[in-house]
Amino acid sequence: MQYQIDHTDLSLVLALVRGRSLARAAELLQVDVSTVFRAVRRLEAALGVALFEKSRRGYEPSETARALAEQAERAEQALDAARVALELGKQVVSGTVRLTCTDAVLSSLLLPALARFMPSYPALALELVTSNDFANLSRRDADLALRLTNEPPEHLVGRRLAKVSYRVCARDDGEDRSDLARQSWIAPDEAMPDHATVLWRLRELPGVTPNYRCSSMYAVAQLARAGLGVAALPDFVLRAHPELKALGPPLTGCDTELWLLTRPDCRALRSVQTLFEELSEALMSHG
């Protein structure tokens, strides 16, 4: 008969995965070290697989142990949600949602929004992944994506939250920066050759060579905030950082849209749908 794994087994594996040592696992489980050692040996014998390998860095989990630990964490979350539900006397939203966005969107838009509503969902866990493409959702590495695009992929579903404009800006230090061609420029590097602001600069200021090139718009914004030069940045970054001053009107041809997207198979998940609606309301109101 195949061994039937139980909650005690899952707790044991999770404690050793987290603790990486018998002593730390014993502390987490509130038992002695010999009890943990014997329990691991018994479980490995029952399953017929090695769960851990001892190394200089401690007990290294196998793929099987990692999979069991992941299930144990889900069981923990379910128990936490049940406790919260009993305390509040109502059903609560629980689970883990993975959300991907760019680092600029994360720092200037997403974090302020999360701070407003996430405390209302104590049983909801959020994993954040910074990335510039849609592959995360396509590979099922994420459940939600906040993206700046005018052409969201057809295989994803979502909602247009706002229109985003770009402006040339710089730190408000009182200097005359009216002649943009003579300024020190901060711009995206070759990782984003087709970025709207890059194409605008090549078209409108063909003689300008950026003094600083960055691999993300977040880094571009940070250098501009430090007073190192001028940069073309989205309007939500300007709103989030009042020390930056717009040097002119929105750049022609650079307008884009902010979309909140998910996979069709995620729409039925209560955790994903709840976060989708909360983010939609927060970003449409304050974005």
- Position 1 in a domain: no
Query: Are residues 152 and 275 both part of a single domain?
Result: yes
Residue 84 contacts residue 123 (beta carbons within 8 Å): yes
Asked if 125 and 159 sit in the same domain, the reply is yes
Please report whether residue 47 resides in a domain: yes
pLDDT for the residue numbered 120: 85
Residue 179 lies in a domain: yes
Query: Are 22 and 136 in a shared domain?
Result: no
The number of folded domains in the chain is 3
Burial 264-283 (b: 16+ CB within 10 A, else e): eebeebebbebbbebbbebb
Q: What residues make up the domain containing 172?
A: 166-254
Task: Please tell me the total number of residues recorded for the chain in this structure.
Answer: 287
The reply to whether 176 falls in a domain is yes
User: For position 134, what pLDDT does the model report?
Assistant: 61
Three-state secondary structure call for residue 158: strand
Do residues 131 and 264 both lie within one domain? Answer: yes
pLDDT at 76: 79
Domain boundary among 88, 119, 150: 88
Domain co-membership, 77 together with 121:
no
Same domain, 147 and 273: yes
| Residue at which a domain ends, from 88, 105, 130 | 88
Other CB atoms within 10 A of residue 54 CB: 10
Task: Say yes or no: 139 and 278 in one domain.
Answer: yes
Please check whether residue 2 lies inside any domain of the structure. Answer: no
Which letter does DSSP use for residue 5 in this model? -
Q: Are residues 72 and 130 in the same domain?
A: no
| Structure confidence at residue 181 (pLDDT) | 93
62 token code pair:
């196998």
142 plus 273 within the same structural domain: yes
- 78 and 11 in one domain? yes
Tell whether 131 and 266 lie within a shared domain: yes
Check whether residue 222 and residue 272 sit in a common domain.
no
Closest of 32, 128, 16, 31 to residue 64, by C-alpha = 16
Q: CATH number for the domain including 213?
A: 3.40.190.10
The last residue of one of the domains, among 44, 69, 88, is 88
Distance set, CA 219 to CA 212, 214, 251, 262 (Å) = 10, 6, 20, 27
pLDDT 10s digit of each residue in the chain, 287 long?
Answer: 478 889 899 999 999 999 999 999 999 999 999 999 999 999 999 999 999 999 888 999 999 999 999 888 888 777 776 666 666 555 677 788 999 999 999 999 999 999 999 988 888 889 998 876 665 665 667 889 999 999 988 888 999 999 999 999 999 988 889 899 999 999 999 988 899 999 999 999 999 999 999 999 999 999 999 999 999 999 999 999 999 999 999 999 999 999 999 988 887 788 899 999 999 999 986 55
CATH number at residue 31: 1.10.10.10
Which residue bears the tokens 């002649």?
179
